Structure 1
Amino acid sequence: MKKVLFLLFLPLSSLVYAQSGYLKTPWTDEVNLEKPLQEYPRPQLVRSEWQNLNGKWNYSILPKGSFPEMGFAGEIVVPFPVESYLSGVQETVGPEMELWYEKTFDLELKKGKNRVLLHFGAVDWEAEVWVNGQSVGIHQGGFDAFSFDITDQLNNGKSQTLRVRVWDPSDSGPQPRGKQVKEPKGIWYTPVTGIWQTVWLETVPESHLLQFYSETEWDSSTQVFYSQIQNPKKSHEIEVQVYDQNILIGSVRGKASEALKLLLQNPQPWSPDQPNLYEVKVTLFDGKKRVDQVNSYFAYRDVRMAKDSEGFQRIFLNGKALFQYGPLDQGWWPDGLYTAPTDEALLFDIEKTQEMGFNMIRKHVKVEPARWYYHADRLGMLVWQDMPSGDMGNRWEVRPGVIREGMNKDRSPESEEIFRREWTEIMEEFKFFPSIVVWVPFNEAWGQFKTKEIVQLTRKLDPTRLINSASGGNFEMEGNDVVGDIMDLHNYPDPVMPDPAIFGKNRIMVLGEFGGLGLPVEGHTWQKRDNWGYQSFSDQKELMGRYAILLDDLKGMIPKGLAAAIYTQTTDVEVEVNGLMTYDRKVIKFDPEKLKKTHSSFY
């Protein structure tokens, strides 16, 4: 999102008011503080033997390099960030301090000869973990899941003690952090520190399935399955059984180290109109012995760039051009910040977006828990996935024709390595989900560096999806073409599009952000006054009238080659009131039925 000159900044004193419990979502008071977010956190690789560790932990905030030798300050509700209302703490940490967690729990899993894995959905940013006083490892990265084998550190009895140290430099460091800043204002929001996704345990055999995903070979009606094995053996084989409505429709077996191809008879494609998903049972064999088994799923779907009958590059889904239109979705909550209060809340935003007639969501400089993408898969919502931005400060220059091309950020080797490592981890983890159709490594030159190299890395990691190299600007050019598949402009509030004569034949033309129409709703804002939108309105009728004008202009661009557009934004976020819904999700500012009728004409 672009920063504009007429922002009204949020006074720091308003944070206390905003998170005092005044601005609650419909789910705030439904959260079980003893056992929050109990759903299985990894729907793409499901095992039956697992244990959820969410709930009340001990915590302390101490100067960096200190240890909680004198005990802990109080209790925190995991997995809500320490700055959030639902954490029960609402304290700022900052780069000079560290956040410590401790939890003593009974191991409920029957270990036997199996290994015990400790999983963290996400911790922002650096996490060091001890089990029963023994260090098991350090992880850096605020948006990717990680795990440790803690079998050898477990006590013989049931009682176990887990300790975690977290350091997060926020916007003082070069790491990916999205919209978080130490001093929230305008389009920059409250810091998120510490554990913000589910912490859990599972038992696995010594050799077990570590990763599973698949790709569609559209032209041959074939699905290709890939597995990664922890502690592999040459004798290992994988069997994939495919089910449709609980009926076995095919299976394939082969070496665990190889891609397995299955020809599907009359395959049912996945699309927003028909989000068909196939259930999968994946078994690891050593000879005739079954070593490990997980449940999973896949979708038969294809996304590619191709020319339409007029010669314009479009996004083709399953062999047909499909205009994609959706909101910019930042995934923030007034009660949990990065963390939705419940799974129902996590699902709510996708459901409402779909009810309004959008067929796509751009997940903006944030990565959600795996369950969010699972819901998108189930419901048939297309997703454009941003890489969270970081190490900002570079400038861009504006050329005629609202094409932004400028200076890449001169990032340090450490900063570059942090970006590449986490982007790789994110893509490896989330390329499973068929709802994701576009990767967006950079937004508006925010920390953008070596664009061509990052696009090449993205293509190598996943050649099956499209790449929007720099949403909104600072394009690296190859001749007259931008690097990547997409030419993407941002403009507020009115829609614009790239010049078809220059870009329409070789790149997909996209309006990556527009709109930002603001309407503060009394009793549902982060602060009582001085909230803002890119253009503000006093009532719903006036707001809808302006939106209708924007859509009329947008609709006229589609025959000229515009392939997708993204409206800012799904919900209000802190002082921004340009959402389709209020920040607390209690007021829908537009009539969903009218929006759906209008949006359907785009497709």
Structure 2
Amino acid sequence: MNIRNCSVLTVLFIGLFFIQTVNVQGQSGQWQPANGPLMSQWADEVSPQNALPEYPRPMMEREHWQNLNGLWDFKITGKDTDHGEYNQQILVPYPVESALSGIGETVGADNRVWYRRTFQVENPYENGRVLLHFGASDWETDAWVNGEYIGKHQGGYDPFTFDITDQLTNGEQEIEITVWDPTDLGSQPVGKQTHDPRSIWYTAVTGIWQTVWLEYVPESYIQDLKITPDIDNNRVKVEVEGKHLSEGHQLRIEALKEGEVAGVAEGNPEQDFLIQLDDPELWSPDNPYLYDLEVKLIAENGEVVDEVSSYFGMRKIEIARAEDGHMRLFLNNEPLFQLGPLDQGWWPDGLYTAPTDEALKYDIEATKKLGYNMLRKHVKVEPQRFYYWADKLGILVWQDMPSGDMRPEPIPERTKESAKQFKKEYKRMIDAFYNHPSIVMWVPFNEGWGQFQTEEIVNWTQKLDPTRLVNNASGWTDHGVGDVIDMHEYPGPDMPETEDSRAAVLGEFGGQALVVKDHLWIQDFSRAPSHYETSQSESKLHDTYDQMIEELYKLKDKGLSAAVYTQTTDVESEVNGLMTYDREIIKFDVAHMQEIHKSLIEE
């Protein structure tokens, strides 16, 4: 099938000076959000001129880049048909079904979406490359530049890149994208999206939902970094992946503390670099200290041909036996009780996409303000900037892999194609977010949703990343492997039996619901999910929560190492959040929450 028969994308390859120039079709036209049941407090700040304008990859930052967010031409067609004429405009990077996209329409598995825009660029490098980056697009993305097909990507949560240098021409450039997403009618990782939103299942997300951007690099450049802290030996290991390098290239890597050089390593790009630090300052939720990292690629003549800025945190996560005899979670060689909310990462106006960077940051700030030291990112992967803020503000993250191929028990064997796709997207997630000190645990499976080959997946995860903990399955379907044994109990709390080789954690509990009028996605909550309890007043909610924390004290004494409360915010038909879905109302007394959580964590 030929799903496309016309052309388009072009980039002006001129000059020695970088000029960020945007010429988007219809950029000066009228845009407004689509009608939606509820908007967040940041929605009014969104416009075609400032749609998530921040640098999207703080872990490896360059000077020369261009943001392609904004208005794009748009069209929905049948899955197997060409797009024809564009008849709408969409605000990228908000997903099609969201209000902030300006579209707000259901796409479905039988349709596909099309995007197109034009722009001008000037490359500052005489013989440099132009890279087209996508933060994420759900799920199957095909792309053309100036009418030439540049590739396909299958995956809804991982960043991907096309080198479009050879497709560029003089003058105006055109990029065209088409995306198809079967949502939960397919077998790919999909998380809590569904074609039939209800109960604990939410609105589908289709198409581009993270920043699209251009990056300008020299012919020989730094492609990726892998940063591994080693607090026991006062050093950090840096591995550098380069592109188009020669034998004459060298690397110089500097770790900086408060702007001063704290350690240096130099050598051939093929080697691992060990940077020794004098009495390093450790990263923790109470002290989220980050070192800066400068990486320079140097030619044989001594010229710096490429450089990137990064950062790292010196921290260590493990399980070990505490003085009380129980296996516990240890941070930086000290036991630390981890307490935090189940974090869905959904927004009433942007769905998968936070309306602004301040909104993305706010959820972490609110979690910290309530006295938590951890969050479990639930069957969703966030943009790089979320983990940047987690690193910078200081919150521990348990990172779920989005579930997929979710069939009723007994779960049949996945097809080879489905298993291969899950592993491919799971590995990409680990690789993409490996450097973030905030992430301390990988969770491949939730409650048996699409669970398969558990022992194999856990062993594979530990080989991919031996520096973090692995939770083989959060709730219900433990297979006796990994670093923790995890149970879910609603309303709870409760705990699994302690073991000699794994730490006992409570992966979900609570779910206490409170309806807050005028801050609702839907109005009728008479049929709330049966495993959540609805409080009729704030005082009832607060009393119930306090009783749960009192029970956690007792469970902690018996060996419980962590607990995850459901959940950060209300989401669509769920009203069991610490905050309302629009983030306008925190349902709890902040000072009181800080006090009771601090006591539980520290005692």
Shorter-chain TM-score range: over 0.9
Contact persistence 2:34–2:102 (CA under 8 A): no
1:506 alignment counterpart: 501
- How far off is 1:414 after superposition? 0.3
1:416 alignment counterpart: 419
Give the one of 543, 547, 558 matched to 1:560.
558
Matches within 5 A, 1:588-603: 588-603=586-601
Contact persistence 2:95–2:352 (CA under 8 A): yes
2:330 alignment counterpart: 316
Matches within 5 A, 1:52-67: 52-67=67-82
After superposing on structure 2, the runs of 4+ consecutive aligned residues of structure 1 that deviate more than 6 Å are none
1:524 alignment counterpart: 519
Structure-2 separation of matches of 1:90 and 1:23: 13
2:420 is aligned with what amino acid? E
Give the one of 71, 79, 100 matched to 2:114.
100
Structure-1 separation of matches of 2:48 and 2:582: 19
- How far off is 1:235 after superposition? 3.2
1:454 alignment counterpart: 457
Tell me, yes or no, if structure 1 residue 179 matches structure 2 residue 197.
no
1:254 alignment counterpart: 267
2:248 alignment counterpart: 235
58-67 or 123-132: which moved more? Answer: 58-67
Structure-1 separation of matches of 2:579 and 2:123: 42
Unaligned ranges ≥5, structure 2: 1-32
1:39 alignment counterpart: 54
- How far off is 1:112 after superposition? 2.5
2:230 is aligned with what amino acid? E
Tell me, yes or no, if structure 1 residue 193 matches structure 2 residue 206.
yes
TM-score (norm 2): 0.92
Contact persistence 2:252–2:297 (CA under 8 A): yes
1:515 alignment counterpart: 510
Deviations 1:393-436 (A, max 9, x none): 142xxxxxxxxxxx554100000000000001110000110000
Where 1:297 maps in the other structure, the secondary structure is strand
1:398 alignment counterpart: none
223-232 or 435-444: which moved more? Answer: 223-232
Structure-2 separation of matches of 1:466 and 1:234: 38
- How far off is 1:142 after superposition? 0.2
1:142 alignment counterpart: 156
Contact persistence 1:19–1:335 (CA under 8 A): no
Matches within 5 A, 1:165-564: 165-287=178-300, 288-395=302-409, 409-476=412-479, 482-500=480-498, 503=499, 505-530=500-525, 532=528, 534-564=532-562
Deviations 1:86-112 (A, max 9, x none): 000011111111100011112254352
Structure-2 separation of matches of 1:394 and 1:300: 43
Structure-2 separation of matches of 1:93 and 1:62: 9
Structure-2 separation of matches of 1:172 and 1:544: 40
Where 1:443 maps in the other structure, the secondary structure is coil
Structure-2 separation of matches of 1:273 and 1:205: 40
RMSD, aligned CA: 1.3
Structure-1 separation of matches of 2:106 and 2:126: 42
- How far off is 1:289 after superposition? 3.0
Structure-2 separation of matches of 1:455 and 1:54: 37
Unaligned ranges ≥5, structure 1: 1-17, 396-406, 477-481
Deviations 1:168-192 (A, max 9, x none): 0111111001000001010000000
Structure-1 separation of matches of 2:317 and 2:248: 35
2:38 alignment counterpart: 23
Structure-2 separation of matches of 1:519 and 1:415: 39
2:571 alignment counterpart: 573
Structure-2 separation of matches of 1:22 and 1:446: 29
Shift in CA distance, 22/188, structure 1 to aligned 2, threshold 3 Å: closer
Deviations 1:40-78 (A, max 9, x none): 000000001000000000111101121123x11210000
Contact persistence 1:19–1:334 (CA under 8 A): no
Contact persistence 2:156–2:189 (CA under 8 A): yes
Contact persistence 1:81–1:339 (CA under 8 A): yes
Structure-2 separation of matches of 1:320 and 1:29: 45
1:153 alignment counterpart: 167
Contact persistence 1:50–1:109 (CA under 8 A): no
- How far off is 1:22 after superposition? 4.5
Where 2:429 maps in the other structure, the secondary structure is helix
1:51 alignment counterpart: 66
Structure-1 separation of matches of 2:254 and 2:154: 36
Shift in CA distance, 108/519, structure 1 to aligned 2, threshold 3 Å: farther
1:65 is aligned with what amino acid? D
38-47 or 256-265: which moved more? Answer: 256-265
Calculate percent identity across the aligned residue pairs.
Answer: 50
Contact persistence 2:264–2:276 (CA under 8 A): no
- How far off is 1:250 after superposition? 1.6
Structure-2 separation of matches of 1:130 and 1:321: 52
Contact persistence 1:409–1:448 (CA under 8 A): no
- How far off is 1:131 after superposition? 0.6
Kindly tell me the number of residue pairs found equivalent between the two proteins. Answer: 565
- How far off is 1:220 after superposition? 1.3
Contact persistence 2:34–2:101 (CA under 8 A): no
1:467 is aligned with what amino acid? V
Deviations 1:364-394 (A, max 9, x none): 0000000000000001110000000000114
Contact persistence 1:105–1:161 (CA under 8 A): yes
Shift in CA distance, 320/351, structure 1 to aligned 2, threshold 3 Å: same
Where 1:458 maps in the other structure, the secondary structure is helix
Contact persistence 1:51–1:109 (CA under 8 A): no
- How far off is 1:130 after superposition? 0.4
529-538 or 414-423: which moved more? Answer: 529-538
